[in-house]
Amino acid sequence: MRRLACIPLSLAGIAIFLGGCAAFVSETKQEYIRVKSATSAAEIEIALEDSFIETYKNRATIAAAFTIDKVDRRPHPAFWDGDFHIAGRAPAIGLPVVAEIKNAVFEQDAVDRVRGVEGTGKPIGLAGAWRLWSEHVGKAAEVQGEDLPAGEATNPDHVFEIHPVTRVDDRKLLGSFHPVEGYRPGKAEIVFKVLENARCRIAAQGRMTTMVIPTGQFNDVEFLLEVGQDRQLVVEDGRFVSGSILDLKGNPLVRKLRMVLVKNTPPEMKIRSLRPGDRIHVFGLPRIDLSTVSWRVRHARDNPELLSLNLPYEIIIVGVYADLN
């Protein structure tokens, strides 16, 4: 592992100094995630209510009355990731939440709206792709439904995100789903190798299901998607598409994986018309696949080994690159 001195204090300065060196920034960012995770536990426990799992396992998005505690001073520069962080709480979620506006420099009205209610305790309507993931975890277990105090940071310890945001109040942000110019997501051959080898332990007790998953997971990835033979699952807020994952040279990495597409975003409108075998160059964010978690729990009585298999994940497609369209 490359050594970085004083990472928590110097990382942003390194990124700004290098300006447009997107490949270095992407590598350094992942190094920071892994170094930070080494100071936490190697695994994180996440306990969700079964009713929440069943409600959202086949939904692309979540909508909530969101109380905003802290927001970024300004959007991240494009070479960092172009996002704008919003930390807060929502009773419908019951976990610490960070919402992220993608390509936020082009969404000034939405940024101004969340700034207007920051720290006031007045909820605002907010919606977007739900994302359960273990990139920015702390040492304590995350248990849905516990009382949550107001936060003081824009990126607190959390496992739940609304990312990307699709609506702030009545302002829709569907057009923000496109690659961030100047930013390089994680390399497919590295990210998927890690994800495919990650493990997950699941335990169901009462009305809760607990997942134990590795911390410090990669946050994003660029890859080729080859649309599979399975019929696309169309739901109220989007669609789910199964396909094969390839690196940018066309080498196969994952035989079959589920993609999440948010309704009426540019990626969803492009991929909805593709046929089996078609390929498309995309940018995605991994999240826990709650449909697989639910299936494993339901079938564990007959096959207990299902509760200790590989990490169940899927990819939210947040951008389509122009080169293979």
Q: How many residues does the chain have?
A: 325
Cβ atoms within 10 Å, residue 182: 16
pLDDT in tens, 180-235: 999 999 999 999 999 999 999 999 999 999 999 999 889 999 999 999 999 999 99
Cβ atoms within 10 Å, residue 231: 9
Name residues of the chain where pLDDT drops below 70.
1-41, 324-325
Q: CB–CB of 4/28 below 8 Å?
A: yes
pLDDT in tens, 139-193: 889 999 988 888 888 889 999 999 999 999 999 999 999 999 999 999 999 999 9
The domains of the chain, with CATH numbers, are: 7-38 (no CATH), 59-176 (2.40.50), 188-320 (2.40.50.140)
Residue 41 confidence (pLDDT): 66
- The interaxial angle of helices 7-18 and 22-38, nearest 10 deg, is 170
**Dihedral over Cα of 10, 100, 238, 144: its sign:** positive
In one-letter notation, the amino acid at residue 210 is T
* Secondary structure (3-state) at 266: helix
Distance CA 284, CA 222 (A): 6
Residue 153 confidence (pLDDT): 87
CA gyration radius, the chain? 19
Residue 138 confidence (pLDDT): 84
Residue 295 confidence (pLDDT): 98
Q: CB–CB of 100/161 below 8 Å?
A: yes
Residue 87 confidence (pLDDT): 97
Residue 6 confidence (pLDDT): 34
